[in-house]
């Protein structure tokens, strides 16, 4: 494992493949416009023993919003079907390097998984090192996962609206500068351009380098440049709650974890009657 207890190295994972209690999770997810199909890519080649965590399927379909957190019963059933328990040593990766794995890492922890890590460099690093893969679907033995959502980690629209008005927390948006400012349209129909009034912008790719989390000095500089005071609470946000988890992971890695993640993020806010700001922060 690495020294910050959030990541494991490819060397570590290769040395522990097949050990009892180890669960490997492919948490790949791609933006709809990318044309990529995460499950099909998983079936073509994945790390031996890895199960596929479908970010869209393990969600609250009734919300009308993309991949919102599911209820506890739904999550317990899904995690158990993947062979996960609360005490499993879970290593999450994705096919980009560091993208949707952060969301799956955050989700598992929020529902009560005790030992969750992200594979440093993800599948691209694993493949570049010539390590083995397998094809098809894994068939894990069913397990019992006792899902208990830590609701303090999840911000809703009302929480974010209060933070926007009275400054009780800083909202940090992981979207691109163009989408944050409103210079680029939102890719989702019916969602306005712009950002939550008072929010600050830190595009997630400022803290990711070559598919890996940037070093602490780079993260701290990026957070400071975004105008964030790490001594005050932070709510991370983005387009739909995926890259907000990358900012969570980055802030956690420098010892200042956020207060909450806005599940729904701009997909919810931008389609509501809440005020929207245009221009830079």
Name the residues annotated as catalytic: 238
Indicate the DSSP class of residue 205. G
Question: What is the CB neighbour count within 10 angstroms for residue 157?
Answer: 16
Closest CA to 54 of 109, 100, 114, 121: 100
Tell me if 134 sits within 8 A of 108, measured CB to CB.
no
Closest CA to 184 of 267, 264, 279, 274: 279
Two tokens, residue 201:
């912008």
Q: Per this entry, what is the length of the chain?
A: 281
Give the containing element (helix H, strand E) for 7: strand 7-8
Measure the CA–CA gap between 266 and 269, rounded to whole angstroms. 5
Read off φ and ψ for residue 231, nearest 5 degrees: -85, -5
CA 29 to chain centre: 10
The sign one gets for the Cα dihedral 119, 122, 123, 129 is: negative
Two tokens, residue 26:
């492919």
What is the torsion angle, in degrees rounded to the nearest 10, for the CA atoms of residue 108, residue 111, residue 106 and residue 224?
Answer: -160
């Amino acid at each position: 494992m690495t020294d910050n207890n959030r990541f494991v190295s490819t060397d570590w994972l290769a040395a522990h493949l097949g050990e009892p209690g180890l669960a490997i999770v492919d948490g790949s997810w791609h933006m709809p416009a990318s044309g990529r199909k995460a499950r099909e890519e998983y079936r073509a080649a994945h790390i031996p023993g890895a199960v596929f965590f479908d970010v869209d399927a393990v969600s609250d379909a009734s919300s009308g919003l993309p991949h919102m957190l599911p209820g506890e019963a739904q999550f317990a059933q899904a995690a158990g079907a993947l062979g996960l328990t609360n005490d499993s040593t879970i290593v999450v990766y994705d096919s980009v390097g560091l993208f949707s794995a952060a969301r799956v890492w955050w989700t598992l922890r929020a529902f009560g998984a005790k030992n969750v890590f992200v594979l440093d460099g993800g599948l691209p690093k694993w493949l570049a090192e010539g390590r083995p893969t397998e094809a098809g679907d894994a068939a894990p033995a069913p397990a019992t996962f006792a899902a208990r959502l830590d609701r303090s980690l999840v911000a809703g629209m009302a929480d974010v609206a209060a933070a926007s008005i009275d400054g009780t927390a800083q909202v940090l948006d992981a979207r691109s500068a163009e989408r944050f400012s409103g210079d680029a349209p939102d890719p989702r129909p019916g969602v306005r351009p712009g950002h939550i009034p008072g929010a600050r912008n830190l595009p997630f790719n400022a803290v990711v380098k070559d598919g890996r989390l940037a070093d602490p000095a780079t993260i701290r500089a990026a957070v400071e440049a975004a105008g964030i005071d790490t001594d005050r609470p932070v709510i991370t946000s983005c387009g739909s709650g995926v890259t907000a988890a990358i900012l969570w992971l980055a802030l956690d890695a420098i010892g200042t974890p956020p207060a909450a993640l806005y599940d729904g993020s701009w997909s919810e806010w931008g389609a509501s009657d809440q005020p929207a700001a245009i221009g830079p922060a």
